[in-house]
Chain A
């Protein structure tokens, strides 16, 4: 069997070069060998030919934040089920959140994730490690050694580092290795016993509110520290209009600051909580409509660099509870691309810009060779149909957990084929 595969008759989309037009891709083994109008309608010799039927062909998606359950939370997700979900969602690289049990803060644990992903993963899994030991917010982990072991970024998951001195030293020390610090920005005292966005809806429901300033104050603090230390900083998930403005200002100043958002923050607002729908309980919380609009603007103008699934699988026992007691989080690997495509269909973000937030954006921040259709780049591809309507059905998810706020949502566009290292890991059958 040939290791040459020709993807012909495609609409090529590559944010790295701004390409949007008909063409073909040739992969040899696990690399992209050529891109362009390669075959002029004639079939290449000695290759397996995959006819894309005019569908879009783009770099595979890179998801900067997903919880894969292993080790320790195998009843909610495993690397096998999580990466199968990724494959269905067109995601070819997943950055695995270190917020597992045990927490990934040691070289051996980073290596465990890598080994286990090699053995059971369907797509590339790149481990993240924590910023502080045990996510305790006090002692730094071994950034240098952990990077050598394969950690691609440092994050304390959905926990914020409250102590400004710890964050200052972490950013300062990380700059030594050009390590990326990805931070969930919330002042815990301002979150308090809050469980949803502070405002009219929370007041009506009798739920404690989380004010937007809980996020913005921590973000502004971090940016001051970045200014002081010169570290490389990524705000993992921002949710408010104020945060978008803060990041925009930091970028205008030329600071090495980037930020990401989760699809629910540009697709939903706090009304989704309705009558205590715990699937709409996420962190940071769903915000007001004006915040949602600002996130969309940020995505359109490039203030927001990254869309990440923030896939957070939870079993029914953790969600079938009174709202205040229910776990935070939503699964998102399988809905990441269809929900993102809504912004394109509404004419708010161009298809190339949207793809950039899911390919080139994270690839650039993480220094990865994938995320582009270039000779020599890893043969990680996403072939999708941008238009066919369907309905999200959580019951069909490959993920072990079904906690999606998007269940039964009508969407447009679907993944037709996902290719990792030159091999098809998912193909739409119908």
Chain B
């Protein structure tokens, strides 16, 4: 394949396309304001797009994709607020996909568990079973992407609160890092592996 910015972009382009179909011009208008306005917006936990019921559902789905299972997950990162904001700004075009997906999931919940059932109130195992049944849908693909983006993008976009996502995967915040960075470039390990320190 042609040389590209990185293997990662080649591999994950499909997900980006699925996740954020048509950003572009919307970003030029909405995103710039959002980018400049980092500190306050990140701490803002008001909803601007979802209804309270939708928000519960979105929160519950994201918490199954990245559960709070002893380490921080989607909830601690504020993924709900990230998705809420993106659907009114740079991922505006995705709003119908999310709305329809949530409606379908609510219907599937009722079908499986009775008219009074809501996705957010189900047991985790029941939630997982329902999500497995929609794993291949564009909605789930976009949702998974948005959850990861909310976990790992800059806090100014509404998620990754206090950089919990970066800390979880081991990505350090900062403009400067000092060697050795990992195990292999430590001088004693270079010596053991190569017989010299490069």
Q: Do A and B come from one complex?
A: no
